[in-house]
Amino acid sequence: MADERTRHFRRLRRLRRSARWWTVTAGGLGGAAAVLTPYAGIGLPDAAWAAGAGSALALAAWRWLDLRALAARPAPPALDPAEAAARSRARLVAAVERLPVGPGVLAEARRLRARLALRGTAAAGAWARLDRAALTLAGMAPRLTGLAEPAVLEAAAADRSLRDLAARVASVERALRFAPPEARPRLAEAHRALAGQLDDGVTAYEGLVAAAAGYVAEDVRPSTEHPAASRLTEATDLLHGVASALAELRAVRRS
């Protein structure tokens, strides 16, 4: 949506164009009525010309009054450039989200932007491992139902927490580069502790994904033969039987 200032000047332009158009129309109809009436006398067509000219003149006057009233109002203040840029981004995101593949494209763009923001920090490696594990779990999520569903919800909460922890690790690491010498030992210790928590958390997340893969494998693995293979075997036996019967029938006919 346009901001208030843009809408204000857009409405001014529309009113100015409308007022000019009705003014020209009223002048044309009035001139036609003034010229044609003395030649043809006053009749029904002349009344129509005069009525049209009067209506156009009234509308032109209303438009000029509206334009004058709107022009007398102070224009809304201009948007801050940062706010205008944020609104433009929001409009672009909303437009992309309406596309069939929009949500997936936006999710991938956010993931790449977050990875680039962590590039060069100790959290980059853990973030990449977490990203791979999360994508793997997302592919298995539709099959993790029933007893496994709470684990999926817990994994989603852990994913958000670990990504926030990775961002904090990167922030502390960047602050450590510019910290005064007396503050660096404390920040370095905090950074090591946070990085250790991140690594342990990602390792636990990868273990959950491995357990989810085992659950999916056991859930879909039948105790004997897969139903699809069983049906194909039955269909093959049926075709062999039909072929044998046709061969025997052909032999009987020949004899």
pLDDT tens-digit profile of 200-254? 989 998 888 888 888 887 765 555 555 666 677 777 776 776 677 667 666 666 6
DSSP symbol at 98: T
Q: Where are the domains of the chain?
A: 4-72, 122-220, 229-255
What is 72-94 written as a DSSP string? HSPPPPPPPHHHHHHHHHHHHHH
Query: How does the average pLDDT of the chain come out, rounded?
Result: 77
pLDDT tens digits for range 109-166: 677 777 777 788 888 888 888 888 888 888 888 887 777 788 888 888 888 888 888 8
Q: What's the distance, CA 31 to chain centroid?
A: 57
CA 51 – CA 44 distance, rounded (Å) = 10
Look at the pTM and tell me if it is higher than 0.75: no
**Would you say residue 1 has pLDDT above 80?**
no
Return d(Cα 56, Cα 180) in angstroms, integer.
77
DSSP for 237-254, written as a single string: HHHHHHHHHHHHHHHHHH
